C-alpha cells in the first residue's frame, strides 16, 4: 500500500491537549472533533488539510493524556498517516486501534517542510519526499498491520468473529 499527500509539519512534544483541546471533548461526533483538530496549535489546520495528507512531526508526538479523541480528530480531518521521529506509546496504540497509520522515521523533520509531497511505501518501509529524497521508516507490522488493514480494532474484531463463525459452520 502507498500513501501520497502533502505534509503538515509540527515540532517535538505535540501533546494530545494541543491536538484536540479539552473544551472540544464534549462531543462524540467524529467530524465535530475533526473540525477542531490541532486547535491548540493552529485553529485553521482543518481548513488546510486535503484528504490523504500526512502529518510530519518530531519526537514524542501525541504525548500527554491518553485521550483517544486525538487520533480520531486527526483521522477524520482527512489525514491518512502521521509520520514522526517518535510517538508517545499510548497515542501510537490509539492510532492503530482507530485505523490511523503511525510511521516512525528518524530525522524526517530535517528534510520536510509544509506542503512538501510525501509518498509512503508501507510494504518497503520507504518515504519519498518531493520525488527526490528517500528515507527509511518503520511501519506497523504483525497484528498492528492487520488491525490497520481492517480499518481499526473494532473492524478487526468483527472480522475475526466472522471468520470463527464461518469456520464453525
pLDDT digits 0-9 by tens, 130-155:
999 999 999 999 999 999 999 999 99
pTM of the model: 0.93
60 is a domain residue: yes
169 is a domain residue: no
> What's the structural domain count of the chain?
1
Pairing of strands 101-104, 117-121: unpaired
pLDDT digits 0-9 by tens, 71-80:
999 999 999 9
Tell me, what CATH number does 110's domain have? Answer: 3.20.19.10
Predicted local distance difference test score (pLDDT) of residue 169: 64
Mean pLDDT for the chain overall: 94
Check: CB of residue 118 under 8 Å from CB of residue 91: no
Report d(CA 59, CA 85) in Å as an integer. 5
17 is a domain residue: yes
Q: What angle do the packed helices 153-168 and 142-150 form, to 10 degrees?
A: 90
Helix and strand tally (H, E) in the chain? Answer: 7, 7
In this structure, what C-alpha cell is assigned to residue 15?
501533546
**Domain span at residue 135?**
2-140
More confident residue, 1 or 52: 52
Q: What angle do the packed helices 89-98 and 153-168 form, to 10 degrees?
A: 50
Tally Cβ neighbours within 10 Å of residue 42: 14
pLDDT digits 0-9 by tens, 9-53:
999 999 999 999 999 999 999 999 999 999 999 999 999 999 999
- Cα–Cα nearest to 8, from 70, 65, 64, 51: 51
126 is a domain residue: yes
Contacts of 80 (CB under 8 A, 6+ apart): 3, 5, 51, 52, 53, 54, 101
Amino acid at each position: 500500500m502507498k500513501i501520497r499527500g502533502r505534509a503538515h509539519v509540527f515540532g517535538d512534544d505535540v501533546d494530545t491537549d494541543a491536538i484536540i483541546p479539552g473544551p472540544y471533548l464534549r462531543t462524540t461526533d467524529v467530524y465535530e472533533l475533526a473540525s477542531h483538530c490541532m486547535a491548540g496549535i493552529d485553529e485553521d489546520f482543518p481548513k488546510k488539510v486535503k484528504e490523504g495528507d500526512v502529518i510530519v512531526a518530531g519526537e514524542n508526538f501525541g504525548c500527554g493524556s491518553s485521550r483517544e479523541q486525538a487520533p480520531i480528530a486527526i483521522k477524520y480531518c482527512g489525514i491518512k498517516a502521521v509520520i514522526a521521529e517518535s510517538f508517545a506509546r499510548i497515542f501510537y496504540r490509539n492510532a492503530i486501534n482507530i485505523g490511523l497509520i503511525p510511521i516512525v522515521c528518524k530525522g524526517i523533520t530535517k528534510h520536510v517542510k509544509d506542503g512538501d509531497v510525501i509518498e509512503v511505501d508501507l510494504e518497503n518501509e520507504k518515504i519519498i519526499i518531493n520525488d527526490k529524497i528517500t528515507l527509511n521508516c518503520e511501519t506497523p507490522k504483525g497484528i498492528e498491520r492487520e488491525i490497520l488493514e481492517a480499518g481499526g480494532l473494532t473492524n478487526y474484531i468483527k472480522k475475526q468473529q466472522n471468520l470463527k463463525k464461518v469456520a464453525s459452520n
